[in-house]
Structures are given as structure tokens and as C-alpha cells.
Amino acid sequence: MIFNIYYINFPKVYEIKMMLNNMLLAEQTVEKDKKIEGETYLKTKLGFNILDIFKLGEAEVGGSIKGSGSKKVLETFEIKTTKSIILDEVVKKCNEFEGFDKVEEGELIKIDNVKLSLENEDELRIVKFINSGAMKDLVVPGTNGFDMNNLFNSMFKDYAYKIKGNLKDDDNILIKIPLTFESEFESSYSVDDLFVGKVSVIGLYKGKIKVDDLKNSFQYFQELGQLQNAFPLNKEDEEIEESHYKINESNNQFTFKSSGDGNEYHYIDLLAIIQNVNIK
């Protein structure tokens, strides 16, 4: 099987591969035998001169000798162990996906023809803007020179892309990719490349969850800020503006635009996202 990798959680893939087979092929030697066969005809003349007066003549003696030999040629190949090679062994062990009604929790599966979409795009753009260095030298008055940039970096350590996947039978899956701000994706791909066309998702099935179950520190601090805005000291002079969150005033329940629609999705503990390559 040939495929192109968009994203791979290599530590997870490597551990699973080691449990399947902890031997890595480092070198391979191919031995070739070349056999040489030949036949030689020997011919000699024997002269007999017993008596000069009695010349009997000449005699020929002929014979053939057959022989064979072999020559060994050794060719040594160095095996390159790449992410694709290791992932391929894991992919071969994936159970064939025929629908979630036949999948049990913890199964290693590969789901083909998945159309992905980003769930927390608005929130993600804010996080990337803050972490891009735009607020690097920001000092809040009255904080004695407290570095806000370090605060944001600590807050975003567990932040992740929340991605939905739609299947042809209208089943929806949910995955997440940790945000590292460096190189989450392979081969210089970006998150937007995942949404062009259909891809294959490889991972462990973890049952059904809601989007809001995928929480992080940034959402936690957002919630604290919402609480302060929702219950001001003077409500007549306070106006709550809609931003990247919304408040249900009937029951004081706080939800985010990245919290989903309240529906449950099949959650996949993601190992890799790949594109199958068809070669004639």
C-alpha cells in the first residue's frame, strides 16, 4: 500500500509498532550464484615407431572433460526506516471498517473517504494570533511587569484542533490534533490541506462523545471570564457583547462556538491522517 502522510502522531504509532514487532530491519544482503559450465575436447596424436621397418602408423586418442564452477556475488542494501515504513506495519494490522455498529471500543481501525472540517476555527485563529508574538511585549498596568506572553504560552500547551469528519453513511467522527505552533503536519502541510478532498483516518475507537468534552486550559480561563461578564456588579451599566462565545440566559449555562451542536460523535484517538495513492 502506498500513501501520503498529512499528519502522524509518531510516538503513538511507534509504540504500537513495537508491540506488534520490536525488530527493525537495518540491513539486507542478497547472494547471487553464477554457475559456469563447460566442455573441452582433448585430442592427441600418439606415434608408435617400434621398428623403423615396421611402421604401424599413428593413433589418435580423444576424450572430453566436463566441469562446472560457481561465483558468488554479494549485494548489500541499507534499509531506510521512515515514518511511512513504520506506519505501514500498523495500517496492515487495522481492522476492516464496515460501520460503527460492528466496532468495539479500543479497536484499531482505518476509515477511508472521510471529509474533514474544522470545528473551532474562530477560537483557533485567536490562539494563533496571540501565540504569533503579537502580544510579546505587552505589559498590563498594575501587574509589576508581569509577562503576559508566558501566561498565554502556558495556557495553550494543551490546546488542540477539533476536527469533525463526515462519512458517506452520514456517520460523523471527531478527532483532535495537538497544537504545537511549529510543525504539527508532515511535508510542510497545514491544517487547511486536510479539508481539500477526502482522506483516510487511522486510530483507536473510543466511543461517543460531544465536542465540548474536548476541553483545554484556554476554554477554562474563557469560562472564568464569561462568569465575570455574565454577573456584573451593575447590570444596568454593563453590556455583554457577543464574541467567540455565547451565554444561555435562561439557565446561566455557558457554551462556546467551538462547543459543537450538542450532538454525540464517534471519537477516534488519532494516530495518523493519510491520503491513499493509486498507482497503475
Residues 173-221 have pLDDT tens digits of 999 999 886 778 998 898 899 999 999 999 999 999 998 888 877 777 7
User: Dihedral, CA atoms, 219, 224, 229, 234, nearest 10 degrees?
Assistant: 180
Q: What does the longest C-alpha to C-alpha distance in the chain come to?
A: 153
Are 30 and 75 in contact by the 8 Å Cβ rule? The answer is yes
pLDDT of residue 44: 52
Query: Strand pairing of 108-118 and 160-166?
Result: antiparallel
- The amino acid sitting at 225 is G
Which amino acid is present at 161? Answer: Y
pLDDT for res 211: 87
* Whether pTM exceeds 0.75: no
- What residues of the chain score a pLDDT lower than 70? 34-70, 132-149, 181, 222-260
Among candidates 83, 122, 120, 135, which has minimal Cα distance to 216?
A: 120
For every residue of 89-152, DSSP letters joined together read HHHHTSEEP--GGG--TT-EEEEEEEEEEESSHHHHHHHHHIIIIITTT-B-TTSSS-BHHHHH
Query: Which of 146, 120, 124, 123 has its CA nearest to residue 135?
Result: 146
